[in-house]
Amino acid sequence: MSKIESILTETRVFEPSAETLASVAITQNKLDEMYTAAAKDNVGFWSDLAREKLSWSKPFTVGLDDSNAPHYKWFTDGELNVSYNCIDRHLDTKSDKLAIIFEGDQGDIERYTYKELHDHVCRFANTLTAQGITKGDRVIIYMPMIPQAVIAMQACARIGAIHSIVFGGFSAEALKDRIEDAGAKLVITTNGSRRGGKTIPLKGAVDEALSKGCDSIKKVIVYRRTDDEVMMKEGRDIDWFEAEAGMSDYHDPVMVESEHPLFLLYTSGSTGKPKGVQHSTGGYLLNAHVTNEWMFDLNDSDVFWCTADVGWITGHTYVAYGPLSVGATMLMFEGVPTYPDAGRFWQVCQDHGVTVFYTAPTAIRALMKFGGDLPNKYDLSKLRILGTVGEPINPEAWMWYYEVIGGSRCPIIDTWWQTETGAHMIAPFPITSLKPGSCTKALPGIDAAILDEDGNELGPGDGGLLIIKQPWPSMIRTIWNDDQRYKDTYFPLEGNNYYVVGDSAHKDKDGYFWILGRIDDVLNVSGHRLGTMEIESALVSHPLVAEAAIVGRPHDIKGEAVSAFVVLNVDTPEGAEREALILELRNWVAKEIGPIAKPDEIRFGTNLPKTRSGKIMRRLLKTIAKGEEVTQDTSTLEDPSILDQFKNQK
């Protein structure tokens, strides 16, 4: 992989409108100044921002401590509280301003001013304290997209507890793994959620996970979101409202050191178990704060809607923390884009006067399929900035988003970043000239480059490893319980401490970055990053399955579809029995990991294509999954005839 070829050639350039140029806070002059300041003194640049943008109970004197690289500490001797920064500091000027607008699946609406949010968060912080949770304890949040999820996160931050959100679509098994790795004391959940007109149970998965282990869990707090009755275990499970009864709506935030962990968020790697990405307090909040200002230009008249679930990093940085830190109004939505019809997103934008909208290419592609008539039915004239995240956006979807949703007036902010980076890294400002499919330039203070496999920096157009040369405040601090893996995964290069992203990319002659994809085999299904390893091990845990390999195949709507290659430890059944087994295995994966990981197709063989050293050759499986002819060299295969078995079925 010394160089990677880029197949996409895009020559269109879109300039910002006069209106955008005249209205945004960061002008070209201001941006130039920031780049100059960061180039001169990177640590000084971030330190000045940290003093200007965040409220510290104890000011810091040390900007960056890199004495233990690649472990970095930012604003080391400073102290602050994230919930204070997101809520309390706005109360003098914005107590009646809306912090959260919520629209439920059924169109039910809740609104919270900053003062009301403050009172809810304080009551729940007092509740957690009353349940014995203190600074440093881990709390699992397993909830749908409702304001109480943000209240729970903010309450944890307020008392210095470390939260770890487990996406509500994950199964009991996945929940159990994360609870046990985090050593959590308490779970916050709901009886269920409402999505697409249905009620979906949630508490049952908690019960199942706890019945199989999770001995560290002492209490479960259950918020009632639906009318469904759930089992409440005596002495362990407590109703949210009963637990809150009598709690004061005043709570003195616990000030913590800048490096105190704010949260863990588990993310799939290509191999092995999920990684508990550990984020800090001060550094994380700084990048969350400034990127909400820089990329989305949030000001007092905006209504910001990020459609991401709180179970993903986007739902942390651009729902639960960043928008509140800058004092904006943000919208949360419980439902799905296609219920009651595929105009729902546009209806919500119209009804609540959304001005800045942030979603994923997979959602754009899914809605694009329904054409322009649905969005044209709604008044989208308040929109002024559109964002995307999660995977490269194909130029066709970019153009549809730009023209049909944005009326050719809103910049498309294509934000490249990762769970591990905490916040946007490579992205345009609203005033940047745009090229469809490029996330444009690295932000001020972010030192990104492209290297070949020998560590040489590559020139324009040459694809290679995307790396970040210098540390930045919101970077991952370590992998919980596995510091060696932190070093091995992100800093694998000899002789330097460059952060290796794991994506391949190239930079064009104008310094614009084009992301080519993951270097390893992580799948991106509907914007969800799934490790092949997790799906493979779920399949192998079925009594009839001996071995399994998972690869992604391009899919118009989901981005990637999940293709499974399975070796059974019995003869492959035929006809109806075969179909029944395929169904059973798909459901098995759904139960073990979650419905999003369900294989789209399953093929059977007597073995997998392996090298003599036993390594599965996923490249060959990818070719077969795509339905293409295998033209690669197969001479290193142990048994090349295996490929024919897989080719002849679908």
Q: Per CB under 6 A, which of residues 184..203 are in contact with ligand WT7?
A: none
Q: Per CB under 6 A, which of residues 503..542 are in contact with ligand WT7?
A: 503, 515, 518, 529
How many residues touch ligand WT7 under the rule CB under 6 A: the total is 21
Nearest residue (CB) to ligand WT7, 329 versus 415: 415
Instruction: Please give, one letter per residue, the 3-state secondary structure of 186-239.
Output: EEEEECEEEECCEEEECHHHHHHHHHCCCCCCCEEEEECCCCCCCCCCCCCEEE
Q: Is 10 in the site for ligand WT7 (CB under 6 A)?
A: no
Q: Kindly tell me which residue out of 125, 412, 439, 581 binds ligand WT7, with binding defined by CB under 6 A.
A: 439
CA 195 to CA 169: how far, in whole Å? Answer: 11
- Ramachandran angles phi, psi of 262, nearest 5°: -85, -45
Q: Per CB under 6 A, which of residues 267..286 are in contact with ligand WT7?
A: 267
Q: Is 475 in the site for ligand WT7 (CB under 6 A)?
A: no
In the chain, what's the furthest Cα-to-Cα distance?
A: 73
Residue 337 C-beta: closest distance to ligand WT7, Å? 17
Residue 644 C-beta: closest distance to ligand WT7, Å? 33
The two three-digit tokens of residue 55, written as one number? 């409220």
Q: Is 560 in the site for ligand WT7 (CB under 6 A)?
A: no
Residue type (1 letter), 545:
V
The two three-digit tokens of residue 522, written as one number? 């992580």
Nearest residue (CB) to ligand WT7, 257 versus 521: 521
Residue 301 C-beta: closest distance to ligand WT7, Å? 27
CA separation (Å) from 244 to 155, 222, 226, 317? 12, 11, 19, 27
Nearest residue (CB) to ligand WT7, 220 versus 476: 476
User: In the chain, what is the straight-line distance between the N-terminal and C-terminal CA atoms, in Å?
Assistant: 31
Q: Per CB under 6 A, which of residues 485..504 are in contact with ligand WT7?
A: 501-503
Residue 360 C-beta: closest distance to ligand WT7, Å? 8
Q: At CA 228, angle to CA 222 and CA 230, rounded to 5?
A: 50
Residue 361 C-beta: closest distance to ligand WT7, Å? 8
The two three-digit tokens of residue 410, written as one number? 């809103």
Return the SS3 of 296: coil
Contacts of 66 (CB under 8 A, 6+ apart): 72, 471
Nearest residue (CB) to ligand WT7, 240 versus 429: 429
Residue 605 C-beta: closest distance to ligand WT7, Å? 30
Q: Kindly tell me which residue out of 154, 278, 419, 504 binds ligand WT7, with binding defined by CB under 6 A.
A: 419
Q: Per CB under 6 A, which of residues 308..347 are in contact with ligand WT7?
A: 312-314
Nearest residue (CB) to ligand WT7, 154 versus 314: 314
Residue 312 C-beta: closest distance to ligand WT7, Å? 6
Residue 532 C-beta: closest distance to ligand WT7, Å? 14
Q: Is 390 in the site for ligand WT7 (CB under 6 A)?
A: yes
Q: 241, 320, 329, 258: which is closest to 288 by C-alpha?
A: 320
**DSSP annotation of 637:** B
Contact 358, 304 (CB under 8 A): yes
Contact 100, 89 (CB under 8 A): no
CA separation (Å) from 132 to 127, 241, 242, 410? 9, 17, 16, 48
Residue 267 C-beta: closest distance to ligand WT7, Å? 5
Q: 447, 407, 410: which is closest to 426 by C-alpha?
A: 447
Owner of token pair 């910001």:
304
Owner of token pair 């799905």:
336
Nearest residue (CB) to ligand WT7, 64 versus 597: 597
Q: Kindly tell me which residue out of 417, 486, 498, 646 binds ligand WT7, with binding defined by CB under 6 A.
A: 417
Nearest residue (CB) to ligand WT7, 164 versus 314: 314
Q: 151, 131, 132: which is closest to 141 by C-alpha?
A: 151
The two three-digit tokens of residue 307, written as one number? 């459609």
CA separation (Å) from 589 to 174, 379, 597? 11, 41, 7
Q: 154, 184, 186: which is closest to 81 by C-alpha?
A: 154
Residue 76 C-beta: closest distance to ligand WT7, Å? 26
Residue 265 C-beta: closest distance to ligand WT7, Å? 9
Q: Is 392 in the site for ligand WT7 (CB under 6 A)?
A: yes
Residue 507 C-beta: closest distance to ligand WT7, Å? 14
Q: Which positions touch ligand WT7 (CB under 6 A)? A: 267, 312-314, 389-392, 414-419, 439, 501-503, 515, 518, 529
